[in-house]
Amino acid sequence: MVAAGLAAEVSARASARATARVYWRLLRAGFRRQSTYRLAAAGGFVANATFGLLKVAVLFATVRAAGGELAGYDVGRMNTYIWISQGMLGSINYTGKTEIAVRVKDGSIAVDFLRPLDVQAAEITTEVGRALFALIPRGIPTVLIGVIIGMTAPNSPAAYPLGALSLLLGIVLSAATVYLVGVCGFWLVENRGVQICYMVVSGFLAGLFVPIPLFPSYLRIAAYATPFPSMMMFPVDVLSGRADLAGSLGRLAVQLAWLVAVGAIGQAMTRAGRRQLEVQGG
Residues that bind another protein (CB under 8 A): 37, 39-40, 42-44, 46-47, 49-51, 53-54, 56-62, 65-66, 70-71, 190, 192-193, 196-197, 200-201, 204, 209-210, 214-216, 219
Q: At 70, phi and psi to the nearest 5?
A: -145, 115
Nearest distance in Å: CB 54, another protein: 6
Nearest distance in Å: CB 168, another protein: 24
Three-state SS at 73: strand
100 vs 145: CA distance, rounded Å: 34
Give 110 or 201: the residue with its C-beta nearer to another protein: 201
Nearest distance in Å: CB 106, another protein: 16
Give 24 or 209: the residue with its C-beta nearer to another protein: 209
3 vs 169: CA distance, rounded Å: 25
Give 160 or 224: the residue with its C-beta nearer to another protein: 224
Three-state SS at 150: coil
Give 58 or 272: the residue with its C-beta nearer to another protein: 58
206 vs 230: CA distance, rounded Å: 7
Give 160 or 204: the residue with its C-beta nearer to another protein: 204
Give 85 or 125: the residue with its C-beta nearer to another protein: 85
Nearest distance in Å: CB 193, another protein: 5
Q: At 73, phi and psi to the nearest 5?
A: -105, 125
250 vs 232: CA distance, rounded Å: 15
Give 23 or 94: the residue with its C-beta nearer to another protein: 94
Q: Cβ distance 235 to 166 under 8 Å?
A: yes
Nearest distance in Å: CB 42, another protein: 7
256 vs 274: CA distance, rounded Å: 27
Nearest distance in Å: CB 218, another protein: 11
Q: At 115, phi and psi to the nearest 5?
A: -85, 150
Nearest distance in Å: CB 104, another protein: 19
Radius of gyration of the chain (CA): 20
DSSP state of 70: B
Nearest to 88 by CA among 140, 46, 162: 140
